[in-house]
Amino acid sequence: MKQKILKVLIAASVALILSIPLAAQKGEYARLTTGDTIPNYSFNSIRHFSRSKMNMIEFRKKWLVLVFWNSHCSICLKKMPQEDSLLKEFAGKVQFLLVGYTGSQYSRVKGPDYKRVQELYERMKQRLNISLPVAYDSTLFHKMDITACPYLVIIDPVGIIRGVTSAISSKELRALVNNERVVLRRAYRQWELQEEKATVL
């Protein structure tokens, strides 16, 4: 009997130890906000760009706008032509990068959604004649605890987060680039929604 209990305790301990890295990874960047330095995260699956793998430091010298989207977000798809126009308007100063969610967080079907998301963007790219680069990456979604899309993170040329929003206009982006004060629309992450709900209750 004692041996059985000991085996159960050992198995439970091993499972707990193995789960720690995963738990630490999820939401690791959840509290990042305006004024923080973006961690040197690496993208390993970039399409329609000069390189297929890049980290945050390699994007420096230009402003970087990360646009988080998923295949179930109709607003995200509608906004892509506007974001493509901003990419062209601010060429040489601002780089836009779509970050497409490839997991199963938004889908009834379990397992990765990589193929469907990729095929959707290729259709949109051709139909709308856009040239936005895209990184297929669900890990960063989880690290930043992003659930609601669109979710934009605006990073300056030295790696400081200068804005978090659900959308940005040409006027707002120009103000940021010129180091002018601008008030952006609020975008929420899961923990922010939970805290706000708790405050209301």
Tens digits of pLDDT across the chain (201 residues):
545 544 434 443 333 333 333 333 457 887 888 999 999 999 999 999 999 999 999 999 999 999 999 988 999 999 999 999 999 999 999 999 999 998 765 555 555 677 889 999 999 999 999 999 999 998 999 999 898 899 999 999 999 999 999 999 999 999 999 999 999 988 876 555 544 433 333
* 183 DSSP assignment: P
pTM of the shown model: 0.80
Do the beta carbons of residue 80 and residue 128 sit within 8 Å?
A: yes
Residue 161: CB atoms within 10 A of its CB come to 18
Task: Domains for the chain: give ranges and CATH numbers.
Answer: 28-200 (3.40.30.10)
Q: In this structure, what token pair is assigned to residue 201?
A: 């209750």
Cis before residue 39, ω within 30 degrees of 0?
Answer: no
